[in-house]
Structure 1
Amino acid sequence: MMKRVKRSKKRDERNVKDPFKKLPNDLNVEILMKMPPRSIARLRFASKHLSSIILDKEFTKLYMTRSSTQPRHLISVHRGGSNMQMQGFHSLSQDHASFSNHDKVSYKLDPYLPYEFTPPVRGLICGRKGTKMIVGNPSTGQFVSLPKVKTRRQEILSVFGYDPVNDVYKVLCMTVVTKRSNMSRGGGDVVPWEDIMSEEHQVITVGAKQKWRMVECKHPHRHYSGHQGICRDGVMYYLASYKQKRSLMSFDLSSDEFNVTKLPEDQMLQQYGSLTNHTGKITISSHAYNSNLDLWVLEDANKEVWTKVAAVIPPVSDLLGWLHTILFRFWGILRTGEMIFAPLLSRNPFFFICYDPKDKKVREIAINGIGDDSDTIQVFFDHVESCMIL
């Protein structure tokens, strides 16, 4: 005989007294659209009626459409220490960024497990430490764990992206294997050498029935585990060594197909080129020691057509107007054309600068409360906030 489950009186009372149920649906949506993502995530527990709206994909898309017109800086901060590890995210308006005008969310991590995050995609972000991975919404503080990557190797490259054809988020992971081979040396001698290639290619779809699956790659290459990949229009891009040359690899999330695009024969590009977060087109940057910044923009992937744009960047001491010995890293270009530079080492307060090469103007943005020696900081921009519940 089936056991009857008693319904909670408190839950029934909450449904009856739900004030939002009496309001027109359009007004409820308008109220939610004015709220920050973290408040929306909490409201789903306070009102059953609002919860049905919040969990609707159409509302999530509507909220993201509005957020896309208000891009933000996203600062990932992992705070170390012997007692407690914390992961925090600071979100700042790109139009009115200041240390006093930002939102902050944080959550506790496993002890001594600083996650390295990939660039956010449509409001979500993916972090990895070894074979452990998490995906979450930094605007709400909600994160979920993914199954461990199926590998015994630790040299892993992971890329996070969105498949618009199937309306799902996916993660691509690659690991390397060292193969022993032989090569000929002068005089007819044959000596062994090591050929390091990316062998395992795995994909997981973020969702309830998530599971890693192997995918085939017909272009043997070696990924650069120290670099990050990006996702554009349903295609993941990352740099790799293909036929002993630095090349641009791409992975179509809907077809599971890999492709390779040759890079221009430029010495600086081949040695120091890195993918740059630049709105619109795939761009590879190479930053020389003499402050020259070369940007290689992919105009046509099929024909492998690249355009080189050179920019002369004044020394940071000239931009800021004070002497220093801080080393800066170029992080990318905003949709406004401003270039982002941040210190290589953490400082308190942490700051970064936005330089407009057209108007020769510079903005310094500082965030108080972060930047200690134990902090690990990552900077992302053109971040679109999402109210998506995982």
Structure 2
Amino acid sequence: MKRVKRSKKRDERDVNDPFTNLPNDMIVEILMELPPRTIASLRFASKHLSSIILDKEFTKLYMTQSSTQPRLLISMRRRGDMQMQCFQSLSQDLSSSSNHDMVSFKMNPDLRYVFTPPVRGLICGRDGTKVTVGNPSTGQFVSLPRVKTRRQDILSVFGYDPVNDVYKVLCMTVVLKRSNMSRSGNVVSWEDIVSEEHQVITLGAKEKWRMIECKYPHRHYSGYQGIDKDGFVYYLAYYKKKRSLMSFDLSSEDFNVINLPEDQMLQQFGELVNHAGKITIANQGYRNVELWVLEDANKGVWSKAAVVFPPVGSLCFFALKGILNTGEMIFAPRLSPNPYFFICYDPKSNKVREIVIHGIREDYRDTIQVFSNHVESCMVL
């Protein structure tokens, strides 16, 4: 093996590194008080700092602390030739001033990423067959290999596998044609069209898409999002001529079907939301929201609750974005107003409050996504 000579300048820099004179416990304590973007920048200031910041144990420690203070995450994309993707996290109690600075990164003006809900500090965006995963708290994003398909209808779901300590993206594709013909020449009904390809990619140094088998022929719903929870991802789909909830085990990579309650409205309407950590299908009416909460995924046990909104306006103009641990419901406007704002409703106290978000420019407002229960991470990809 050829011996590599070390640079004298590098040795001198290591010797003169002032952070080597501080106890590691003190450095960690200081870093734990800093926002993720600052921590990510500090790894370039010192080799010793970098070794601490890039250590998995520090990342886990920071994640554990952040998990006790979940936040709201706003995703914005600036229009025009010089597109900019921006993220801003807000204190979830919306009364604190701990709103971290907006982070942004330049993006290809031809791409219009739609992001899935954040998972343990990371977020996944897809535009056609192009997929990106990044840390919205630091602004660092990496592009994944293109999805292996020429299909036109794709659903991507992002999740974390706690067994193997890895993040995964699940993609499913369906052929969309003006007329689907069977071999006999008969028109194939809409109900018979199913997802034909199921692929998974694991984030890592040798990442690539892998085709996997699914024993349950189903078709995902376009425009809907999946939710990650406890090593599984969940999404709504059409299975055996019924609307169902699909689950995907991120460790074993097995699919399963969870039947929905026999409710006519539930078979037609409703979207998945994060209900303080519980998988919930929310069906919004004019001034009420029906919440179907999955209490036991293995037994398919559901509970139902109805929330009546105070007579301050129609819910048709707002979309439920999540329910916090306090029970407060976060609604975001379907059309971006100026200035941008949220509506927060507490069913217990029957109080509604409006939270105005200042500083969102005109060319950002039609591309805003809102996510609840975001946990900030200092992970470097």
Q: Counterpart in 2 of 1:128?
A: 126
SS of alignment partner, residue 13 of structure 1: helix
Q: Separation in 2 of the partners of 1:318 and 1:177?
A: 37
SS at match of 1:282: strand
Q: Secondary structure at the match of 2:48?
A: helix
Aligned CA distance change for structure 1 residues 313 and 241 (closer, same or farther; 3 Å): same
The residue that corresponds to 1:283 in the other structure is 280
Q: Which residue of 2 aligns with 1:389?
A: 380
Q: Among 226, 247, 254, which residue is 1:250 paired with? A: 247
Distance 1:265 1:256 in 2: 28
Counterpart in the other structure of 1:187:
none
1:214 to 211, 215, 218: 211
Question: What percentage of residue pairs aligned between the two structures are identical?
Answer: 73
Q: Does 1:232 align with 2:229?
A: yes
Which residue in 2 is equivalent to 1:378?
369
Q: Distance in 1 between matches of 2:298 and 2:350?
A: 36
For the residue of structure 2 that corresponds to 1:26, the secondary structure is helix
Alignment CA distance shift 1:379-1:97 (3 Å):
farther
CA deviation after TM superposition for structure 1 residue 161, in Å: 0.4
Separation (CA, whole Å) in 1 of partners of 2:108 and 2:162? 33
Match of 1:349 in 2: 339
What 5-or-longer segments of structure 1 have no aligned partner?
184-189, 320-325
Deviation larger for 70-79 or 356-365:
356-365
Q: Is the 8 A contact 2:78 2:363 kept in 1?
A: no
CA gap 1:264/1:156 in 2 versus in 1, 3 angstroms: same
Distance change (3 Å), C-alpha of 1:22 and 1:311? same
Q: Is 1:359 aligned with 2:349?
A: yes
- Matched letter for residue 7 of structure 1: S
Specify the alignment match of 1:42 in structure 2: 41
Cα 1:49/1:354, change in 2 over 3 Å: same
Alignment of 1:61-80 (within 5 A): 61-80=60-79
Match of 1:7 in 2: 7
Q: CA–CA distance in 1 between the matches of 2:196 and 2:75?
A: 31
> Contact 1:283–1:298 at 8 Å: present in 2 too?
yes
1:200 is matched with which residue?
197
Query: Match of 1:269, SS?
Result: coil
1:100 shift after superposition: 8.8
Aligned to 2:181: 180
User: Do the aligned residues in 2 keep the contact of 1:182 with 1:193 (CA within 8 Å)?
Assistant: no
**Post-superposition offset of 1:371:** 5.7
Q: Is the 8 A contact 1:89 1:138 kept in 2?
A: yes
User: Quick one: distance in 2 between partners of 1:287 and 1:203?
Assistant: 32
Q: Residues of 1 paired with 2:211 and 2:162: CA distance?
A: 21
Say which SS state the counterpart of residue 389 (structure 1) adopts.
coil
> Take 1:281 and 1:4, find their aligned partners in 2: how far apart are those partners?
54
Per mean C-alpha deviation after superposition, the further-off stretch among 160-169 and 299-308 is 299-308
> Quick one: structure 1 residues 4 and 21, their matched pair in 2 at CA, closer, same or farther if it must change by over 3 Å?
closer
Instruction: Tell me which amino acid in the other structure corresponds to 2:235.
Output: Y
CA gap of 1:196–1:318, structure 2 versus 1, over 3 A, is closer
TM-fit CA distance, 1:177: 2.8
Aligned partners of 1:346 and 1:372 also within 8 Å = no
- 1:265-344 matches, cutoff 5 A: 265-289=262-286, 291-317=287-313, 327-344=317-334
Change (3 A) 1:294 1:177: same
**Equivalent position amino acid for 1:338 in 2:** E
Aligned to 1:186: none
Matched residue type, 2:69: Q
Aligned-partner residue type, residue 361 of structure 1: K
Deviates more, 1:106-115 or 1:133-142: 106-115
Q: CA deviation at 1:97?
A: 4.7
Change (3 A) 1:271 1:43: same
Backbone CA RMSD of aligned residues: 2.2
CA distance in 1, matches of 2:82, 2:156: 27
SS at match of 2:111: coil
* Structure 1 residue 94: Cα displacement: 1.2
What amino acid does structure 2 have at the position aligned with 1:382?
N
Residue of structure 1 equivalent to 2:151 = 153
SS at 2:362 equivalent? coil
What is the alpha-carbon distance in structure 2 between the residues aligned to residue 359 and residue 95 of structure 1? 15
Q: TM-score by structure 2 length?
A: 0.93
Amino acid aligned to 1:23: L
| 1:111 positional shift | 1.0
1:350 Cα offset (Å): 1.2
Is residue 2:26 matched to residue 1:27? Answer: yes
Unaligned runs of 5+ in 2: none
Greater share of strand residues, 1 or 2?
1
Letter of the 1:109 counterpart? M
Distance in 1 (alpha carbons) for counterparts of 2:97 and 2:334: 20
Partner letter of residue 77 of structure 1? M
Shift, 1:158, TM fit: 0.4
Equivalent residues, number = 375
Is 1:75–1:89's contact at 8 Å kept on the other side of the alignment? yes
Q: Please give the secondary structure, in 1, of the residue aligned with 2:119.
A: coil
